[in-house]
Each structure stands twice: as C-alpha cells, then as structure tokens.
Structure 1
Amino acid sequence: MVKDKAVISKRVVTLAIAATTAGTLPVFLTGALSVQIRASLHLNKAATGMLVALFFASATVTSLTSGRLAEKYGSESVMKVATALAGINLVGITLFASNFASIAVFLGIAGLSNGALQPSVNMFVAGAIPPSRQGFAFGIKQAAIPSATLLAGLAVPLVALTIGWRFAYFFAAVFAFIVSALVPRRAPDRVSATNPLSSSEDFSVAPLVMLAFAMALGAGAANAMGAYLVENAVHVGFNPGDAGLLVVVGSVSSLAARLYSGHRADQRGGGHFKVTAVMVGIGALGYVMFSFQATVLLIPATIVGYAAGWGWNGLYNFAVIKNHPNAPGRATGITQSGAYVGSVVGPIAFGIVVQDLSFLAAWVGAATLAGLSSVFMVVGRKMLIKSRHTLSPG
C-alpha cells in the first residue's frame, strides 16, 4: 500500500499542534501552577479541580455545536477566532485574576473557545491529510495536549518560581495571538472535501453517544491526574520545582505514545478502538500505582498514567473520523463533548475526595473510572460495527 508520506503538509500539522496547544494552555497552566496560584489567591485544594472542571464544562457547550459551524463556514475561520479568544482570556488572567471568581470567569470563557476549537482542528486535519496517513497525523495533532502540559510543567521552575506565575499566562497569551495570526483563511493543502450534509445512513448517533460516554470516563480520570499530579507530588515530599518537572516527564511519555499509536494505526486495517481500550486499561494500573503514595513509584506511575491513560486520544479521534468521513466535525464534536463532561466531573470529584478523604481514595476512584472506560469503548465499537455496515470498523 502506498503510504503517501510526501503529501503530509508540515504547515497543516504544525498549525494543528499550535492551535490545540493554545486552546488548552489556560487549563493546563492552572493545574501545573496550582500551588503558586492557591498561595497567591488564598484558595483551597478543591478550587483547582473546580477551575479545571469549569473550563471543560464550558467547552462541552460549544463542542456540541461547533462541528456543524466549522463544516458550514470553514474550520480555519473557527480556529482563527478561537485561538484569539484564548489569548484574550490568558491576558485577562495575567492582569485581573485576584480571587476565585475572577479567574473562574476567564477560564470559563477560555473553555468556550477551546470547545469550538477542537472539532475545527480535527476537520482541518481530516480535510488536508489523505486517509492513508491520518492516523499518524492525528497522533501528531493530539501531541499538542502533552506539549501543552509540558510547557505548563516547565513554567513552574522557569517562570512561576522566578518572575511569578502571572507571567506564564502572559507568555501563553503571546503564543495564542501568534497562532491566530498564522491560521490561514483557507487550508493551503486541502486534498479532499467533506460533505457537510451527510446522510442519516452515514451518521448514527447512538454509537457516538456510547463512545462519548467511554471517553468521558477515561478523560475524567486523565484530567484529574493532570490537575492534581503536582499537588500530589508535593504532598508526598517533592519540592514544587521537581513536581513541575514530573509533569514534563509525563508529557513526554504521552507525546511519544500518541505519535507511536498514530503511526501504528496507519499500518493496521482496523481495531483502533480495541487498542484505545487496552491503553486506558493499562493507564488504570498507573493510577493504582499513584494510590500507594510512595515517592519511589511517582515517576513510573506518571509514565504509565500519561503514556497509556492519556496517550489514546489521537487514535480515538482518528477512529471516529475514519468511520464518519463525511461529518468529521460533528462526529468528533459529539465524542469530544464526552471528554469535556468527564473532565468536568473528574477533577471536581477527585478534589472533593482528596479534601474529605485522601489522595489514596481519589486515585482508586480514578483507576475505577479508567477500567470502566475501557469496557465501554469495546461496547461502543460493537454498536458502531452493528449500525455502520458500509464503513470499516475502527
């Protein structure tokens, strides 16, 4: 089979990574800088989870509707506006965040922009990369998430502990504005067009709802880890600088997993949802390792948790789009909404359990969510195969 490697546009994937990173930096900075922000704004530990949850709750609203919007007006238009809005809110946090309410307002609006951004970026990539290379392309695109967490982790020792946490948001704002300026009005390398009005036979909602539910459980556990990794590391004895570097280790692990799983996807004929189910299940073992609250286990738990428990997203999006080539924006908008719902409930529940019980109990809960996510991914795949005989199963 011809790989069509030459047609993968570096500009397309670079813009996809940059836009996704810009959209998610507000929330990942909040998680990585939680120790400094809590001390500065006098917040309790549960506040971090609530702020992260608010971001994703807002994203859920626009994720469900922006797919059709991108299919109608163009993915590039939505990307340009959404990244600019992310930059505006990052500036707002830099200058005006003085208490929980003020930072919550800016994160809520930033969540709206991120919810609109993700389906648009998925459509942007799907329209510019041929199907034979989309697995790797989406692996690269989703590498933006660990890239954002990596940058957020580096911001702790390099920025927050030197010149102050607000400057981390300011630098992120500059990045977002640059990305917005670079997004073209139309994709320069579009190789295929999607039909914005695919027939009902090509768009079955029920399997997507099940897959969204599975994604909610897996993303809820993973985003709780992202929000509280630094807090947990400090709790067991790490200093804040080293705890921030732990996020870097996890981010690199997740980035490598997303790239490799995407590369392997292009070499398979199907079975992608089965692979994501296995990855989430392995991630659950990482959360169990966290529950022991042992310093010696933090690094291996981080690697397993981030690589497996948070490394499946790109492959998941690819599998959804492979089965819905005529409606990539709407299909991933539905499944991505599941990720946002889970990302609301996960960090809030994790924070409450930590506040009222312990980190041990919270990690056991995260492992349970991941295990259930693995099961429901398999269920969703079976529903998809049953309802879509004309398309190859993912």
Structure 2
Amino acid sequence: MPHLPRFGRSARLMVGASALTTLGAIAPFLVGSQAVLLMRDLGFGAGQLGLVVSTFFAVAALVTILGGPLIERFGDSRGHLLGGLLVAAGSFGVALLVQEVIGLVAALALLGAGNAICQGTSNRTVATLLPAHRRGLGFGLKQSAVPAAIMLGGLAVPTTTAYLGWRATFAIVGSIGLLVALTALARLLLNGGSRPEPAPRRGGKKGEKRHTGLDKAPWGPLLLCGAAITAASAAANFLGAYLASWAHEVGLTVGQAGVLMAAGSGTSILVRIASGFQADRRYGANLPVVATMMLVGGVSVALLGALPTPWAVVVLGFVAFAVGWSWPGLMLYAVARLGRDAPTSASSVVQAGAFVGGALGPLAFGLVVSLVSFQGAWWVAAVAFTLAGVLTLLARRGFRKDLERRPPMEPFGYGGGRREPRFTTGG
C-alpha cells in the first residue's frame, strides 16, 4: 500500500499542527473558566478581566503583523522552539510569580506572543508541508483547536483546579510548552540546524526551484478577508464568552449552560473537520461556504436576542456554535490556497484579523451589554456576522478578477467542481 507512509506523515503533521495551536490558544480560556478564583485571589474585577483577555489577543495580532515575514522563513523546529519557550515562560509566570493583575497582564502578553508563533508555525506547516490534497482537512483540524481549548479550559475547573488550584493548570501548560521547546531543540541539534523544505505545490515539476515571495496574492482581497474575519471573530468570541451568562439569565442552570457550551464546541469541531475534508474534494468555491456559515451565525445570534426563552437559547446557541463559528479553518485554507508562492504570508493577514477580533470582541460587546442590554449586544453581533459574510463575498470577487487578470505561472483550478474545476487559468 504505497500511500500509507505519505498519509502517515500527513497525519503526524496535522495532529502536530492542531496540538501546537491548542497549546498556544488555551491560556485565555483557562483565565475565563477560572475567572472567579483569579479575581478573588489577585483582587481585580470584571472590567480588568476583559483587559487581561484582550491583551492576549492584541499582542498576538501585533506579533503576527510585524513578524509575519519572519515566521514565513521559520522551519518547523524553530517555530516549535520559540513558541514553546514563550508559552512556558508565560504559563510558569502565572503559576509561580503573579501576585496582582498587572503581573497577569504581563504574563498574558507573553502568552499572546507565544500564540502568534504557534499559530503562524502551524499555518506554515499545513500550507507548505502537507500535500495540496490534504490541506483543507489540515486547516480544519488545526482550527478545531480553538473549540477544543474552550472545552479543555472548562474541564480544568472540576478536575485540576478543584484539587490543586488554578495555578496548577498553568503549571501543566508551562510544562507542556517546555517539553515542546526541548524536543524542538533536540531536533535542531540532531539536524545540524537544518530545516525541511516545503512540499512542492501541486502541478510543480520535480526538482523545480521555487522563488518564494515573487508571486503573492493581491492585497485588496486579502485585506477584505482580514476585515471579514475581524468582524466575525469579534462576534464569535462574544458568543463564546457570554452565551453561558445569557443562557443562565433566561432560565437555564449553570450546569445546563455548561453542557450547551460543550455540545456546541464539540459539534463545531466536527463541522470544521468535515468542511475541510470536503474542501479537499473540490476545486475552490470555499469562500461562499465561509460566507454562508457567517450569515447563519448572524441569523442565529439575532434570534437569540429576539427570543429570550430557554428552548430558543438551546437551539439557536447550538446552531450558532456548530455552524456560525465553523468557518476559521476553511477561511485560512481558502486564503492560503490563493496565496500563490507565499501562502503563510497570506494566511497571516487572516490570522491577524482573527486576533484583532478576539481582542475587540469581548470588550466592545461587553460594553454594549452594560450600556444597552444583552439583547442589543446580540443584534450588534448579528450585524458583525452579516458584514463579515458580505466582505467575504467581495473578497472572493476580487480574487477571481485577479486570477483572470494575473494568472499564475502554473494552471490553477477554481470556481468549484469535483472531477475537474469549473474554471482554469492559462498556463
């Protein structure tokens, strides 16, 4: 069975990218799930909690924007080394040193930088080292790490936190980060500092030298995608941060709200993987699927505000999680596929938008809750989701025009189709 070794390598790369993404992303969800204990022990309030979480995403966005070209040149081992060290330093800082909120902010800044490196390295792995026909599934698995981190953050409370305290959860994360860094260092030393070459792009000739950076995706559609994912991430992170509180307010118990969050997160993981699997079986047409998911999210959260009843919160909250927040992997895959010779740089624009949305969402929508109402915040979130869907469709139109005006050197299939693409650029 000649395909087994290659599939085995692909599986290892996909699992590794997903695990690294989870390691980088878990910190704010640990803070959120243990917020009551952290606020009590460190002496700060709900407003400062928003600052702590937003600092994580803001630093991640800044590092992604400024360090994108550097991450593009990183090998896997160097990315694992630096990301693991930053995660270890921030996590051990929380576990051993933090005594007040300013220290927690500083530690989350380190963890945000570590998240940016982990995400960028994982994006590079999936976009360049995986075979082209596995990248949709790879991005789906990688982006399943965020709902997985939400579930792990929630599960930490009745297990590790209940028996060992909240600092122990960060000590465990720091230990894993240190193990990742040491493993990467050993790999670098064994390889003499070398790094693996990216897998050739589909359709490339064997032995052909690639000139990275000469042919890049157009900036206009890329920025539209970045703006779209900023708006959608802001609304989605508000959903993740406040759905349990809204569910409790309309009549669900704390336990029932937790089950709803876990069920929604678990289903979101399955949908992300399934959508990536399907993307590998067609030629493009991914951005319309992304826009549809965002629009479903918009309708769901709008009805959440309009129908404040337990049954509506259960049904609509589940749909909003399962479908309305299942687009990140497919969006990254679509942009990386259109990234020409610089897929990591293209995906970094989208990743930065996701981090900016993560930083703005809880603060901005939390402010709407305090100044207007929960219902008003859900309607504003619906507008953000809808705007994101429209921007995604505009970006798709820009990408298609650019392919027609500036075709890649190698034929490129797009527009959908399973056996053959609907459209193909000239050779």
Q: TM-score, normalised by structure 2?
A: 0.84
Q: Return 52-61 or 353-362, whichever deviates more.
A: 353-362
Q: Could you tell me which of 237, 241, 246 is aligned with 1:232?
A: 246
Summarize the Cα distance change of 1:376–1:219 in structure 2 as closer, same or farther, 3 Å threshold: same
The alpha carbon displacement at 1:216 in A equals 0.5
CA distance in structure 1 between the aligned counterparts of 2:155 and 2:244, rounded to whole angstroms:
12
Question: 1:221-370 counterparts in 2 under 5 A?
Answer: 221-238=235-252, 240-291=254-305, 292-370=307-385
CA shift in 2, pair 1:166/1:217, >3 Å: same
| Pair 1:339–1:162, CA change in 2 (3 A) | same
Structure 1 Cα separation of the partners of residues 197 and 254 of structure 2: 44
Partners of 2:376 and 2:348 in 1: how far apart? 32
d(CA) in 2 for partners of 1:378, 1:111? 30
The corresponding residue for 1:148 is: 149
Q: Which amino acid aligns with 1:197?
A: T
Q: Which amino acid aligns with 1:150?
A: M
> Structure 1 stretch 97-106 or stretch 322-331: which is displaced more?
97-106
Amino acid at match of 2:236: A
1:192 maps onto 2:200 in alignment:
yes
Aligned partner of 1:255: which letter?
I
Considering only CA atoms, is the larger Rg found in Structure 1 or Structure 2? 2
Identical-residue share of aligned pairs (%)? 31
SS of the counterpart of 1:310?
Answer: coil
Cα distance, 1:307–1:294 mapped onto 2, change above 3 Å: same
Kindly tell me: are residues 12 and 25 of structure 1, through their superposed partners in 2, closer, same or farther at Cα, counting changes over 3 Å?
A: same
Q: What is aligned with 1:131?
A: 132
Task: Name the stretch that deviates more: 117-126 or 214-223.
Answer: 117-126
Distance 1:284-1:62 versus aligned 2 partners, 3 A rule: same
- How far did 1:342 drift? 1.4
The 1:372/1:328 distance shift into structure 2, 3 A limit, reads same
Question: Match for 1:248: what amino acid?
Answer: A
Aligned pair in 2 of structure 1 residues 289, 95: CA closer, same or farther (>3 Å)? farther
Note if contact 1:218-1:309 (Cα within 8 Å) is conserved in structure 2. Answer: no
Q: Structure 2 vs 1, CA of residues 381 and 302 (structure 1 numbering), >3 Å: closer, same or farther? A: same
Q: Which residue of 1 aligns with 2:74?
A: 73
TM-score, normalised on structure 1?
A: 0.90
Q: How far, CA to CA, are the matches of 2:250 and 2:39 in structure 1?
A: 18
Q: RMSD value over aligned CA atoms?
A: 2.6
Taking the aligned partners of 1:57 and 1:277, their CA distance within structure 2 comes to 25
- How far did 1:231 drift? 3.6
Deviation at 1:107, TM superposition (A): 1.0
Larger mean CA deviation between 112-121 and 159-168 belongs to 159-168
SS in 2 for 1:388: helix
Decide which moves more: 363-372 or 165-174.
165-174
CA distance in structure 2 between the partners assigned to 1:196 and 1:77 by the alignment: 21
Q: Give the structure 2 partner of residue 47 of structure 1.
A: 48
Contact 1:154–1:245 (Cα < 8 Å) also in 2: no
The amino acid that maps onto 1:330 is S
How many residue pairs get matched?
A: 391
Please tell me whether residue 209 in structure 1 is matched to residue 208 in structure 2: no
- Counterparts of 1:36 and 1:314, CA distance in 2: 33
Worse-matched range after superposition: 149-158 or 258-267: 149-158
Please give the per-residue CA displacement for 1:280-325, whole angstroms capped at 9, x wherever unaligned.
1111233234324433333323321222222111111111111114
Aligned partners of 1:46 and 1:355 also within 8 Å: no
Measure how far apart 1:393 and its partner are: 4.5
SS at match of 1:202: coil
Matches within 5 A, 1:108-127: 108-127=109-128
| 2:391 is the counterpart of 1:376 | yes
Letter in 2 for 1:27: P
The 1:262/1:251 distance shift into structure 2, 3 A limit, reads same
Change (3 A) 1:165 1:237: farther
State the alpha-carbon separation in 2 of the partners of residues 187 and 223 from structure 1: 35
Query: Matches of 1:218 and 1:361 in 2, distance apart?
Result: 17
Alignment check: 8 A CA contact 1:147 1:251 kept? yes
> C-alpha distance in 1, partners of 2:226/2:211?
21
